[in-house]
Structure 1
Amino acid sequence: MAKKKTFEAALRELEEIVKQMESGDLCLEDAVKKYESGMKQSKFCLDLLDKTEKKISMLTKDSNGNIKEELFEDE
């Protein structure tokens, strides 16, 4: 069974892609491939952050001003 990709692994890959692209050593074709790969990593990270954010509970105040915890529910 394949190991599930983590946010941290995807972020490391994205950072490496940025470093390679900033070096200026890539030909145009390779730079475009790296860009495409970077966009996929970026989307993976953003999607995972969005899902995680929805799982985080929100603190709200009730009518008496007391703080209560409510789970964030998907719309």
Structure 2
Amino acid sequence: MAETSNTVDIPEDVRKMSFEEALSALEEIVRQLEAGDVSLEDSIEIYTRGNQLRAHCEAKLRDASQRIEKITRQQNGALETAPLDVD
């Protein structure tokens, strides 16, 4: 079943990719499109795949930023963690 991220259906094979794998695949798609050596129909298909990879990378980054905690020092010198403000 595909998840939706900003109205982009993310297929199962993309969802299984790590951030680094998805980013590498996205960079390769950008290289192919910039080279201009693909047909219009292939370009549309490649662009669609790139959009899925982009949405997956954004979701991974959003998830990571929500898990980051900031460390603050209390008056007694002890360190404390708190959720990162994501505003």
* TM-score relative to the length of structure 1: 0.77
Structure having the higher strand fraction is 2
Q: May I ask how many residue pairs the two structures share in their alignment?
A: 69
Runs of 4+ in 1 over 2 A off after TM superposition: 58-62, 66-69
User: How do residues 1-75 of structure 1 correspond to structure 2 at under 5 angstroms?
Assistant: 4-59=16-71, 68-72=80-84
In structure 2, stretches of 5+ residues that fail to align are 1-12
Q: Give the unaligned 5+ runs of structure 1.
A: none
How far 1:53 moved relative to its partner?
0.2
* Aligned-partner SS, 1:26: coil
User: TM-score, length-normalised on structure 2?
Assistant: 0.67
Deviations 1:23-48 (A, max 9, x none): 01111000000100000000000000
Structure 2 Cα separation of the partners of residues 7 and 37 of structure 1: 15
